[in-house]
Amino acid sequence: MPGDSRLKPSTQRAFGSRKKRAWNKKAPATSAPSAAELESRPDPLDLPGTSTDDTVGPSSTSETLRVDAAYYSTAEQAQRVERSAQTKTVLSGKSATQRKFDLLGVNHFPGSFHLGRKDKLWQNVVRLGRIRGEKGRPSLPDTFLLPQELPLLRDAWSAETPGDHCWIIKPPASARGAGVHVVHRWDQIPKKQPLVVQRYVRTPYLINGTKFDLRLYALVTSFDPLKIYLFPDGLVRFASIKYSQECEDLSDRYMHLTNYSINKKSATYTAGGSGDCQGHKWSIKALQGYLEGLGVDFASLWEQMVDIVVKTLACAEGPMNRLIQRHTSSRYTCYELFGFDILLDEQLKPWLLEVNISPSLRSATPVDYTVKSEVVKDMLNLAGFQLPQQLKDDLDERLLECYGLEEQDDLSLNPLLHTYSLSPAELLKHRHYETSLMDVEEETSGLLESLTPDDVRVLVQSEDELSRCGSFKRVFPGGRHGDVTLLAHRRYYNLLLAAWERRYGHQRHKGLCALHIPVSLLTTSSG
């Protein structure tokens, strides 16, 4: 099994002597299951009717914080339901009214349909483009929403050379390639039903004559402040029939669609190995080796894809934050893994196709198992589940003994460390920085000089996440893609983290020293 099988301990020592630790117990040794075993197993984290990806599976709730490196050990644990609601720590399922689950970690944010629905995604991309310009929006093919934009689509159609028409039709909320068709005649387009009509990338980059797309995994732990982590590996999914631009071939779904749920039914489909460049599904690491062997600058290509991920999530943070504020009352409640589907054209320019709000975590092939087991392990570590306060006495004692902690050490979740509540002084500071018309860097230069208890809570949680991110890399804030001016709204917490990254991004040890504040000061209001 690849990677470290242990859950990273929490680094919240800035909260004083209370060492809030997650599990750090060695997982049992496991070997990768065979392809037949993988195919028979259900997706552990999806709910029927909620997935926007290739597969759906049973819902799950867990009472355990242990995260095994072996993916399906995690799944089997996660499917056990603890009868006492007071001891639940994780809920995996629909994104509903999460005020019911203030002490649970829920795997969706309210409003994630703003990314998962193809029509909402396009509307948010257009909105951000109007605010930040074309360079501030991700690269998507030209898109029209029917029926309201039918006249605009007709104009675009008429502007094309006759015979060059090639568009793809998608239902706004479909999954697994359902209802997706490539068309080349105007009479093939339904005019009255809700549809997304997108210009088809007719000259994709081909490998062995076949079309493919890339699945990237991005984890968001918060939308305010916006914190985005990107996994450095993913999946490359190939069509099972060699590509052709001929009009008579446009109806061949095995040629033009790369969904696994479609191509696995093809007589020519082969699963391939766990990491080599064989079969119809590769890892992104395998693709990297293949392209670099051809002289491609993959590092530059990857940065372009990171740019797409950051700008796409940035375009939805406005409408999503409105729903998050309405439906949650704790920063602890939500996290979400998004699957980004990206296509490369013949010039190796990446194009965003769609975002999946419930990316399939089912490991149907060895390469799935290799990639997704690490994604799941590091995702759950980053989510930072903490033990509920209502621990049974014997469990509490066993944990203290297991980790060599003192009886006074607090192992359970402290809701006050995740509260949205602000003191009058904190509210005043927020308003000052959010309404200022000064340049962001100039205005926030003094933001760190007088940190409030709420500031420290947010900064400690941010540093704590970084300490346990595993293979995930944080791409926002910080780094070349972490520019807060990409966002449509000026939010205090984004300014706070931007200022922190400028000062301590390359000397985090100094920042951590500045955060050694007793927990008692962080759970009381400032004047």
Burial of 137 (0-12, 13-18, 19+ CB in 10 A): buried
The answer to whether the CB of 312 falls within 8 A of the CB of 339 is no
Instruction: Give dist(CA 405, CA 417) in Å, integer.
Output: 21
- At residue 311, φ and ψ (nearest 5 deg) are -65, -35
- Residue-by-residue pLDDT tens, the chain, 527 positions: 444 433 443 434 333 333 333 333 334 444 556 555 555 555 544 433 334 444 333 233 233 343 433 333 333 333 333 333 344 455 665 544 545 555 567 899 999 999 999 999 999 999 999 988 888 889 999 999 999 999 999 999 999 988 889 999 999 987 777 788 899 999 999 999 999 999 999 999 999 999 999 999 999 999 999 999 999 999 999 999 999 988 888 888 889 988 888 888 888 888 776 667 888 999 999 999 999 999 999 999 999 999 999 999 999 999 999 999 998 888 888 999 999 999 999 999 999 999 999 999 988 889 999 999 999 999 999 998 877 766 656 677 787 788 777 765 666 777 777 888 899 999 999 999 998 877 766 666 788 988 999 999 999 999 999 999 999 999 999 877 768 888 888 999 999 999 999 999 989 888 888 887 655 555 555 44
- Please tell me the predicted confidence (pLDDT) of residue 309: 97
| Cα separation, 504 vs 225, whole angstroms | 17
Tokens 């496991």, located at residue: 30
How many C-beta neighbours within 10 Å does residue 442 have?
Answer: 9
Instruction: Round to whole Å and give the CA distance between 31 and 15.
Output: 39
Residue 391: per-residue pLDDT? 65
pLDDT at 392: 59
Q: In one letter, which amino acid is 98?
A: Q
CATH code for the domain defined by 142-200 = 3.30.1490
Separation of CA 201 from chain center = 25
Q: What integer pLDDT is reported at residue 5 of this predicted model? A: 39
Q: How many helices (H) and strands (E) does the chain have?
A: 17, 14
Q: Which of 89, 138, 61, 181 is nearest to 338 (CA)?
A: 138
> How confident is the model at residue 38, as a pLDDT?
56
Note the pLDDT of residue 49.
Answer: 34
Q: What are 219's two structure tokens? A: 């984890």
Give the pLDDT of residue 69: 39
What DSSP string describes 293-349?
A: HTT--HHHHHHHHHHHHHHHHHHHHHHHHHHHHHH-SBTTSB-EEEEEEEEEBTT--
- The closest alpha carbon to 15, from 414, 326, 400, 318, belongs to 414
Q: Which strands, in side-by-side order, build the sheet including 195-199? A: 143-146, 195-199, 167-170, 181-183
- Local structure of 425: helix, strand or coil: helix
Q: Residue 183's beta-bridge partner residues?
A: 167
Q: How many CB atoms lie within 10 A of CB 476?
A: 29
Structure tokens at 490: 């000026």
Q: Where are the domains of the chain?
A: 142-200
